[in-house]
Structures are given as C-alpha cells and as structure tokens.
Amino acid sequence: MDSGTDKLSAAKDGGRDRAGARTLIERVYSTHGELWSSILAGVLLLAALLCWMAEQNAAAEVLQWISLGIGLVHGVRAAWLALAERKVDIDVLMVVGAVVAAVIGHPGEGALLLFLFVLAGALEELAMQRTQREVEALHALMPTEALVLRDGEWLDVEPADLKVGERIKVRPGQRVPTDAIVVQGRSSLDQSAITGESIPRAVDVGDEIYAGTINSDDTLEATVSKAASESSLQRVLALVTQAREQREPVQRAIDRFSEPYALGVIGLSAVVFLVWWVVLGRTLDSSAMTAITVLIVASPCALVIATPTATLAAIARGARAGVLFKGGQAIQRLANIGAVCFDKTGTLTFGKPRMERIIPAAWSDGNELLAVAAALEADSTHPIATAIKDAATKQGIAPATLDRVDHTAGRGLSGVQAIAGVSREVRLGSMKHVEPATPQCLKNHVRQTLEGIQQRGQIGVVVAREGSDNAIAPDAGQAAVIVLVDAVRPGAHTLVTELHALGVRPVRMLTGDNRFTAARVAEQLGLDQFDAELMPQDKLNAVAQMKAQQRERAKGKMPRGVAVIGDGVNDAPALAAADLGIAIGSIGSDAALESADIVLLSDELTAVPWAVRLARRARQTVVANLSIAIGIIALMAIATLVGSYMDRPVPLGIGVLAHEGGTLLVVANSLRLLVFGAWAPAPAEDRFAVASIEIGKRDATAIA
C-alpha cells in the first residue's frame, strides 16, 4: 500500500515538474522572456568588453560564448520553425551568420549579432502588441453584467445570457450590456470610446442604444434587440480583427519575394566568399568575414517590417477614433482618393425631419397649435409625427385632449376638439386634406405659404381648426403651416472646405430626393455639384462618369480614386462600384459593416477629412520606411564590398548595428501614427443647428 502511495505521489510530483518545465519554457520564449534574454546577453557582452580591456582574455572569451549561447536559444528555435515549414527567412540568415562567425573564431561578433537581432525582435513584437492593445482596448468596453427583469424581479446576469425581447435596466454610470431599444426614461450616453465622438448622445423612448456605451444621466429601461454575441460592439471587434489580418499590396509583394530574396542573399554571400578567397586571394578569415557581413547587412529585416507596422498602427489609431479600416488596402485607397460622392439622406443629413418653425396664418397661440398637432400625431410612427411630438416634448407642451382621431392614408389626420362645450374639427396633413377645416379667407394664404416652403426644399404640414359662431368662444377658424427640415449632420458645414484643402474635388451629392431639397442642402454646404431624383442605376452611372473623369485628368498617370460615402443600406450598389466605399454614422447598421471598405462609427462628418489625413500619413510613413530599409541595405552592402576590396573592411559589429538599427528606426517611425492628432468635433452651434421653435409672423414675409 505504501509502495502504491509512493508511486502515485511520485507520479504527481513528476507531472508537476513537467508542468513547471513547460511553464518555464513558455516564459523563456515569451516576448518578455526574449527581451530579458537579449538584455542578459548584452550585459554579458559588456562584461566581456571590460574583461578584454583589463587584459583578461580568457574570461572575456567565456562571457562571449555564454552570450552567444543565450542568443542561440531564441535564434535556433526561430530558424528551426522556419526550416520546418520549408522556408528560408531572416531568422535562418541571422543564425547562419552568427554560427559561421563563431566557427571561424569570432564568437564576440556572432554574439553581438544575435544580441541585437533578438533584442530587435522582442522590441518589434512589443510594438506590435502595442497596436494590438490599442485595438483590444475595445474589449475592455464589453460590459460584464446586466440587470434584467424576469418573473417580476430584477436579476443580475451575464450579458451573454440576455435574450432578444427581454427588458433590461441601465443605471447611471453603467455600460449598456447589448444593443437595445429604450422603452422608459431619458438620458445621455457616452459613446466616445466607440465612436470617438466627445459629446454625449441624448436618447429617449424609441431610440436604439448600443453595447459598451455608458449611461451618463438617468436610469433607462430598454428591450434587448440583439443578443450580446451579435451586438454592434462585437461586430466592430470582428471587423478590426479581420482588418489586422489583411495585407496591403506592397506587403503582399514583399512577403511573396522574401524567401527568394533570402536565398539570393545566401547565394550572394557564397559568391562573395569564393571571389574574395579564390579570385582576389584574400585569407579564409577575411573572405568569410566579408561574406558574413554582406549576408547580415543585406538581410531584409527592416524591409519586411516596413509596411505592416505602419498599417497596423494606422488601423489601431483609426479604431480608437471610431474609424474602422478593413485592412491595408482600404488605407491605401483612401489616401489616393481625388473625388468624393455623398448620399444626402442619412449621410449629409440625419435622414429624419426635425421641426424648425411654425408659420401661423391665423392662430394666436403657438403652444396650443403644437398641442393640437401632437395630439393628432400621438399614435403615429411616421417620421413627421415623431418630429412634431419631439418638438412638443422639448417645449414642455402636453398634447391637447381630442375626442377622436381618424387617419386618412396618404393625406393626414383629423379629430374633434371640444372648446367651451362645442365640438370643432381639427385636421393635419396635406393642403387637400386640411382644406375643409381651413377658413375660406385663409386658404390662398396658406397655399402660397406651403408652396414657398416646398420651393425652398423644406417640408410643410398644414394644421387647421374649423371656425365657430358660439357666443362663448367665437372665431373664424385657425390655420398654420408647420415647417420641418432634415438637418445636416455635425461637421457638414466645414466638410467641403476641408476636403478641398486636401485636393479632393469635386465634392458631389447624389440623392433620390427632390431637386428643391437637394438644392437647399447643396447651397447650404457649398457642394461643387449635386444630382437629384436619382434611381440606384443613375447613381452607378454618376460614379462611373466620375471615375472616367479622374482617368482623363490623370493623363496617363495613375488615376486618383472616387469614394462614395453613404449610410450603407440603400447605397450598397454605389459603394460597391466606387474605388472606395465609406459608411458613416453606422454603429448600428449591419449593411454598412458588410458593404463598405471603411466604416465611420460617428455621426460627425469631420471624421471624413481626418480619416483622409490619417491614410495619407500612413502612406507617407510606409514610403519613408521602405526608403530607410532599402537605403540602409544598399549603402551598407556597397560599403562592405568596396571597403573590403580596398583593405578597409567594415567591421561586422558596425554592419550588425546598421542592420538592426534600421529595423528599430522603421518600427519607431511607424509607431508615430499611434499619436496622430484626434479629429475635432463640430462646434455646438453646428451640432444643434435646429434649435427652439419659432412662431413666425402672420404676414407673407414669414416664409422669406
């Protein structure tokens, strides 16, 4: 029995030892393990140098070999993994160079090579992890708890357990657990971490709220519209993850030629060795050192890392600001755009009307008028009804009491209001529908007012109450026109100016809306060109025309692209036809996340020129990185060959420093994109351009 117990105990101890060994190996080969190993190797090399200066050559040589061994722990593993996949890459080149240097009696140079190579690799990985952390910061936004109503009680559950249709409560300071629709309460949501928009978004009953946003003010109750696994934030995370895995054309070309290039470097080094040893008659040691130096300085470390570091840094910076690039190609195309087409409804404008003012023909009390209109629209979900009810709520006006409300499809609503015991008909809608309740003396005036509003591209709704000859409350009847507008999005007023400053023109609007409305928006924003009353095929034709114009303007050079910016739903054909598709204000839009190359999560149009500037900075960074990498390789290779031929060889240590220094310089240059300046939100007067309701004058000048 004791023997069996001893065996079981020994087995457990053995299992723990193996687990401990695996943990130690994992730590050694982790990024931080690699970093500390390189630091230790560097300290040993420094100690060897001090021993050499103190003429303790034996100790110096031992320290050099130990340093070399530490470097080989990481270098040989990386080279073996590459060879196991039948690839010859940079890891193989560096290990070959270090081992050959040690074999011919230069362990110090081999140790220096591996020290800097392992150190550079660790720092590159840390830089990559930093861009990853910028993206994964979105993961921290995921809520960890939810308050749900079940069987009459509020219970704390995991967000993943929520089901569509369940009622949740979001208290002040809490994160919204999943996408939902507000059913009770009014508050403001801080969604800056997702959209980059600094100003909280006001929400009311019927508004959609998104996972990860923070409730700033009062408690909200909402019904779950999407499971937590399908929420907007989860889709954003998936999109960014996919983007990081995509490679732009330059990087794909470098990846494709990296192995042939590595084999070519090995072949070149062999040729240099033979020429120096056999043809030029140099010593074996000198020929080998020249060949090793060429192998090291010609290795494409900086060249391979030049594009992905810049691309990933740009993707990370954009994600943190609410600009989602679907890979490096999207960045490259955005940097090259020369013209842009905007959809109007839902893109340049909010896509839903807001009440701007009331023009009374004969209605002395504007509050009473709005109360009647809100009562008529009380049960309607039409966008115009929503605008009227929202305006009444913001003004603190309660709906009037009506005896009944009837709806006439396509025309309007009618009801009965009791005033001083007398039932009087009230109507709201088109002029034709409201005309029976409109006093005869006001009909022409109301009609002219309505026509003037429509010619200005605005929406006009007529409301009227029939007259009464009752002795207690006599009047000839009342009528007014409610003016609604589809307000432009924040930042739209400076959009054209900023894009023109970036050389992007024309800035053109393509819309299916009527010409009067399109003209009003185009004039208001200073657009270069606009087309109205378009069908989807017309938009496609317009995009094709602009692409042809860009090719003609290029005069044989690479043409600049045409971008289409829409809401990602009804603009899908045009987005697909363009060189680049951008969906804006689309945190909750499945279609936008699927159809566009770039998704701007914020409603702020100021994010568009900011994204163009970021893409162009990323392109400049890639060009600079490639120039640095190619320049160092060419310069050091030429210097090595010429110097050795003239009996003034470039020391291997200098070649190593130049090679690894160039790699670190490229990484540092790319990381500058992470601190690219933030886009500025539109001023408050732009964001809330439609303010309080005006009660206009009774005369005709009110419509001017």
DSSP string, 596-623: -SEEE-SS-TTHHHHHHHHHHHHHHHHH
DSSP bridge partners of 343: 510
pLDDT for 635 equals 93
Question: pTM value?
Answer: 0.68
Angle at 535 between CA 530 and CA 539, to 5 degrees: 50
What percentage of the chain carries pLDDT values higher than 70?
A: 80
Burial class of residue 585, CB neighbours in 10 A (0-12, 13-18, 19+):
buried
CA atoms within 13 A on the CB side of 697: 6
SS3 label, residue 509: strand
Nearest to 680 by CA among 321, 417, 319: 321
DSSP reduced 3-state for 143: coil
Q: Are 483 and 459 in contact (CB under 8 A)?
A: yes
Q: What is the pLDDT of residues 345-399, one digit of tens each?
A: 778 887 778 888 888 877 767 788 889 999 988 887 777 888 889 888 888 889 9
Please say whether the beta carbons of 645 and 302 come within 8 A: no
- In angstroms, what CA-CA distances link 522 with 504, 531, 581? 17, 10, 21
Is the confidence at residue 339, as pLDDT, over 90?
yes
Element (H, E) at 591: helix 590-595
Per residue in 78-103, pLDDT (tens digit) is 778 877 877 776 777 778 777 877 77
Report which of residues 702 and 592 the model is more confident about.
592
Q: What pLDDT score does 470 carry?
A: 61
What single string gives the DSSP state of each residue in 624-666? HHHHHHHHHHHHHHHHHHHHHHTT-PPPHHHHHHHHHHHHHHH
DSSP line for 151-203:
TTEEEEE-GGG--TT-EEEE-TTPBP-S-EEEEE--EEEE-HHHH---SPEEE
What is the Cα gyration radius of the chain? 35
Mean of pLDDT over the chain: 79
Find, among 347, 351, 331, 405, the residue nearest to 374 by Cα: 405
Domains of the chain are: 27-143+231-336+579-704 (no CATH), 144-177+179-225 (2.70.150.10), 354-485 (3.40.1110.10)
- Count of CB atoms situated within 10 Å of the CB of 22: 10
Catalytic residue chosen out of the listed positions 89, 190, 343, 603? 343
Q: How far apart are the first and last CA of the chain?
A: 104
Q: Is-contact 116 657, C-beta < 8 A?
A: yes
| Section 677-698 average pLDDT | 49
pLDDT at 20 over 90: no
Q: For residue 41, what pLDDT is reported? A: 83
In the residue annotation, 343 being an active-site residue is answered as yes
- Name which of 26-35, 115-124, 679-688 the model is least confident about: 679-688
Q: Positive or negative, the Cα torsion across 656, 659, 662, 668? A: negative
Per-residue tokens: 197: 């928009």
pLDDT for the residue 692: 36
Q: Give residue 504's pLDDT.
A: 93
- List alpha helices for 246-353, DSSP H: 249-274, 284-297, 301-320, 328-335
Residue 406 has pLDDT above 80, yes or no: yes
Query: What is the pLDDT, as a whole number, of residue 263?
Result: 81
Q: CA separation (Å) from 589 to 60, 142, 342, 456?
A: 66, 19, 17, 31
473-502 per-position pLDDT tens digit: 566 678 888 888 877 887 788 889 999 999
User: Residue 60 has what pLDDT?
Assistant: 82
Tell me the residue ranges of DSSP E strands in 499-577.
Answer: 507-510, 529-531, 561-566
- Maximum mean pLDDT: which of 100-109, 356-365, 687-696: 356-365
Bigger pLDDT: 564 or 95? 564
Mark 271-287 as b/e (b = at least 16 C-beta within 10 Å).
ebbebbbeeeebeeebb
Task: With a cut of 80, say whether residue 572 has pLDDT above it.
Answer: no
User: How far is 249 from 315, CA to CA, in rounded Å?
Assistant: 16
Residue 293's pLDDT is 87
Q: Is residue 612 pLDDT above 90, yes or no?
A: yes
Q: Report phi then psi at 541, rounded to 5.
A: -65, -40
For residue 104, give the DSSP letter. T
Q: Given this model, what pLDDT does residue 694 score?
A: 40
Beta-bridge partners for 483 = 357, 460
- pLDDT for 201: 73
Residue scoring higher pLDDT (310 or 689): 310
Cα(578)–Cα(573) distance, rounded to whole angstroms?
Answer: 9
Sign of the C-alpha dihedral computed for residues 598, 604, 609 and 614 taken in this order: negative
Confidence of residue 160 (pLDDT cuts 50, 70, 90): confident
**CB-count exposure of residue 140 (10 Å: 0-12, 13-18, 19+):** exposed
